[in-house]
Chains A and B, each alone.
Chain A
Amino acid sequence: MAMITLTIDKQKVAVKEGTTILEAAKQLGINIPTLCYLKEINVIGACRICMVEVQGARTFVAACVAPVAEGMVVRTNTAAVVKARKLVLELILSDHPMECLTCVRNQNCELQRLAEAFGLTEIRFQGATTDYPVDDSSPAIVRDPRKCVLCRRCVSVCAEVQTVRAITAQERGFKTLIAPAFNQGLSEVACVNCGQCALVCPTGAIHEKDDIDKVWAALADPKKHVVVQTAPAVRVTVGEALGMAPGSIVTGKMVAGLRHLGFDKVFDTDFTADLTILEEGNELLQRVNGGGTLPMITSCSPGWIKFIEHFYPDLLPHLSTCKSPQQMFGALAKTYYAQKAGVDPADVFCVSIMPCTAKKFECERPEMNSSGYQDVDVVLTSRELARMFKRVGINLAALPVEEYDAPLGISTGAGEIFGATGGVMEAALRTVYEVVTGKTLDNLDFEMVRGLDGVKEATVPVGDLNVKVAVANGLGNARKLMDAIKAGTADYHFIEIMCCPGGCIGGGGSPIPTNTEIRNKRIAATYVEDKNMPLRKSHENPAVQALYAEFLEKPLGHKSHELLHTKYTPRGQYPEQ
């Protein structure tokens, strides 16, 4: 590709043709402020904060969308440029509620950071303000249009990355609103609760529903026996929300922090991830040997489940009937564990810490009560857990490393890698291979299913059978595989789908920011965790073996079906006419 040479702030730089001024400046270490821009996802030049001066141009140009040209002379920091940017910022703020102190994004807000950077001390423009009401109809996501800066990041990620299109810009000019059609609530439309919108929102206009008060109340109730489970991805992400570098592994410190908060037992979703492998692996073998519906598709990711229910309801028979590890945990916490611990299941309060907003919807699904109670009482995202730690002054870095409680805290590396795209597949392959062939795997690392590629494929010889698998992360990529199934061109045995780009480590409840670079660091940390575990195959988990011996009897047995398997609801994507 042709190289273009230009001058930015008196420095020469050569970049590939088609590069934007913003990206070219970055190569020189010059940071141009942005607000609406989101690399590769939302590049529309809407907010104008990134304006720069280009010699010979009639007006200032938006650096995020303007491509470089040969001999171009750019100035990013003249007094006129800074003044113009400041004016833009002041105009945005003229219709923004000044509620930073009580905002969920206080100190983690891109608009607030810009106001600080530009040294704003007053709001010069007073005028009409947007007063669309807050939408808190969804159990997972809250929209507050008053705080919206109309950057369209959420619209882009919902439409282009996830292909859900639950929200879009409606009306025009001052009345513009980002919302579902007819300004319906998110709970009334085909929103899958993935929370990718909340992850990219620069302000507090879309955020997770905060449920921490329910947990504080349970912890303060002496009658409640409060148990907590932590998803695989949380231990490699939550540190970021507390000031640590991306990729920090805080497993043992997080366990200590949770005990400090007052949880009676600190358990691990990795345990039921291992259990999932045994149930799902056996279900796969049963389908392969018994002529069941293939390809079989994983069912761990609740955003994905709601997606297929809305957009591909005719493919529901392809889904594994296994509940997600979170829900398996809830069902066991109020049966097996309650019995074992001698606690009345009515008093067990089950909290999940998840990188996921869709889990909040999942735990409230009417069918998720096979213990006789709502199996999981409250789901908190990683961000909410960080908030709880902050509230009581927990400095995670200073805490000792502690162990999970037995038995529901005992797990393997296979359970841990559920947090990254390809991980469920890899964990399943480790077990299916050994169970079917009776041989020990030499190399546990199935590299071909790892990494951020949208769709990955592999063929793995298991005894006489070449098992053909595919892995997709992000719903846009899931859609490609679903269309292939519909077209009859998907001759796979097993497909893993994770709703969020990168898998759960990129979940909608993760620390903000989450981007490609950070996702890669979290994935790397996940595989380090896996390597560090003494056991790395689900079927070797002694606590899972004991669970079958003492309680469930066998995979896909009667009790398993009762507690660990579920059914799905075809929903369609359009309202009744």
Chain B
Amino acid sequence: MVACGCKCETTEQAQLIEQLDRIIDEYRGQPRGLIQVLHKAQELVGYCPKWVQVRVAEGLGVSLQEVYGVVTFYALFSLIPKGRHKISVCAGTACYVKGTKMVVKAIRQHLGIKPGQTTEDSRFSLETVRCIGACGLAPAMIIGKDVHGRLEPEQIPEILEQYQ
């Protein structure tokens, strides 16, 4: 393996880099694989910090500018660490009308974070997203892979407690 050059002090980080390199290997030297690689890299690392972007850029043979442009263009990619459980509150038209704001407020009261933030214990991160295609369940949110619909503010604490 190539020396990573980062400040990896633990074997855990070294392992992370090795796993990242395996993801990159699938598209090594192929700029067209950028979004796929970033997607998997974010799944692995949890977000797309600079060192991941540099390693991906080098591996695929694209400039760091191109990688950063893609990472900041798509809402999917994040430059800051995400919590173990990602809460995506739908802000599509139907949900918005039925109470997106109310849902966000209830989460904020319970967890103390605003959209775009992560709790200090890295348990949750919160964001609002465009229509998730569950208009019939408005207002709705997704936590991890679970969809929660027809939300009332008083249900929020109970739902959040299911995720540790």
Q: Residues on A close to B: CB < 8 A?
A: 165-172, 180-182, 189-190, 573-577
Contacts and interface: CB of A to CB of B under 8 A. Distances in A.
Given A170-B69, A181-B67, A189-B65, 18 more contacts: A165-B62, A165-B65, A168-B63, A168-B65, A170-B72, A171-B72, A171-B73, A172-B73, A181-B69, A189-B64, A190-B63, A574-B57, A574-B64, A576-B5, A577-B6, A577-B50, A577-B54, A577-B55
Which secondary structure dominates chain A's binding surface?
A: loop
A182 B68 contact: yes
A180 B65 contact: yes
Contacts of B163: none
Given A181-B53, A182-B50, A575 B72 contact: no
B65 A181 contact: yes
B160 to A, nearest CB: 30
A145 to B, nearest CB: 14
Given A574-B57, A577-B55, A170 B64 contact: no
With a 10 A CB-CB cut-off, give which of A166, A167, A189, A577 has the most chain B CB atoms.
A577
A169 B69 contact: yes
A190 B58 CA distance: 13
A98 B63 CA distance: 34
Interface string B70-86: 00110000000000000
B116 to A, nearest CB: 13
Interface of B: 4-6, 50-51, 53-55, 57-58, 62-69, 72-73
B4 A168 contact: no
B68 A575 contact: no
25 contacts: A165-B62, A165-B63, A165-B66, A166-B63, A166-B65, A167-B65, A168-B63, A168-B65, A168-B66, A168-B68, A170-B68, A171-B73, A172-B73, A180-B65, A181-B63, A181-B68, A182-B68, A189-B65, A190-B63, A574-B54, A574-B58, A574-B64, A575-B50, A576-B5, A577-B54
B81 to A, nearest CB: 17
A577 B4 contact: yes
Which secondary structure dominates chain B's binding surface?
A: helix
B80 to A, nearest CB: 13
Contacts of B5: 576-577
A181 B73 contact: no
Contacts of B51: 577
A416 B107 CA distance: 72
Given A165-B65, A180-B65, A574-B64, A170 B73 contact: yes
A171 B62 CA distance: 18
B104 to A, nearest CB: 21
A577 B17 CA distance: 11
Contact of B72 (A172, A574, A577): A172
A190 B51 CA distance: 17
A46 B107 CA distance: 40
A576 B50 CA distance: 10
A577 B68 CA distance: 14
A168 B58 contact: no
A137 to B, nearest CB: 16
With a 10 A CB-CB cut-off, give which of B54, B64, B67 has the most chain A CB atoms.
B64
B38 to A, nearest CB: 13
A573 B66 CA distance: 13
Contacts of A576: 5
B71 to A, nearest CB: 8
Contacts of A574: 54, 57-58, 64
With a 10 A CB-CB cut-off, give which of B51, B54, B57, B68 has the most chain A CB atoms.
B68
A172 B69 CA distance: 9
Contacts of B73: 169-172
